[in-house]
Copies of this chain bind each other. A is one copy, B any other.
Amino acid sequence: MKLYKGSHKHLVAVDCIIFAYDIAEKEIKLLLIKRSIEPAKGKWSVAGGFVQDDESLDAAASRVLKRLTGLDHMHLSQSSTYGSLNRDPGARVISVSYSALIKIQDLSPDAAGLYHAHWRSILKLPELIFDHGTMVADALENLREQIKRKPVGFELLPEKFTLVQLQDLYEALYQRPVDKRNFRKKILAMNILEKLDEKEKETSRKGAWYYRFIRERYQVLTRNGFYFNLDVN
């Protein structure tokens, strides 16, 4: 049974916008790939590829990301779909963008070299191919909205982190300073962090206490109508 005959078919791609947070540099970084095929071969792009016959969009995004970067089991979430006629000069391609937040240490140290993947600060991005600049801008705006209302910040930090690091992350995203006392008051009042018996001693003599995000406690609160709101200053 052949249905829908006569309807035009399209090339469909997925593009993965991967953000990570660099604790040392206090910068959000974006994963970029040197494009290996024409057109625009050698130019910077996000990790993308075509959707195959026998895979869902979500599966395609995971596969493409794994192939280009080695990153596996990422929590990719669909962002937006781009379908202007001439967005890709090589052919008419419809592209579905996905984004993910990762802990930078999840990328094995040599993977970057191995896969021609590079991390670049979102503050100094190079020119990207096609409409990838727009895709990134859209995803970033979405991330900035999300982080106010969902505890997505913890996806970008290691298991153990200090309150100073968490605050630095918010400042990196908002690009403005945040009041330390108000920030701590607010996040601690949510009761979703556990203070550990261990200090981070690299960056100060005094040392800063490590904390841990308690996902289970957050989920219980959520079920009871708790509303995460870290809209600071």
Chain A residues packing against B (C-beta within 8 Å)? 1-4, 7-12, 37-39, 50-58, 60, 78, 80-85, 90-94, 96
Q: How many copies of this kind of chain does the complex include? A: 2
4 extra interface residue pairs, beta carbon distance < 8 Å, beyond A2-B91, A3-B37: A1-B90, A54-B85, A57-B82, A81-B81
Partner of A9, one of B10, B54, B56, B78: B10
- Given A80-B78, A81-B78, the answer on whether A52 and B8 have CB atoms closer than 8 Å is yes
- Given A4-B11, A7-B50, A9-B11, the answer on whether A56 and B84 have CB atoms closer than 8 Å is yes
Residues of B within 8 A of A56 (CB): 83-85
Contact B83 A57 (CB under 8 A): yes
- Can you identify 5 A-B contacts, CB atoms within 8 angstroms? A3-B91, A4-B11, A58-B83, A81-B96, A83-B96
Residues of B within 8 A of A58 (CB): 83
Residues of B within 8 A of A84 (CB): 56
Residues of B within 8 A of A11 (CB): 4, 7, 9-10
Complex CA gap A11/B7 in Å reads: 7
CB distance from A151 to the nearest CB of B (A): 17
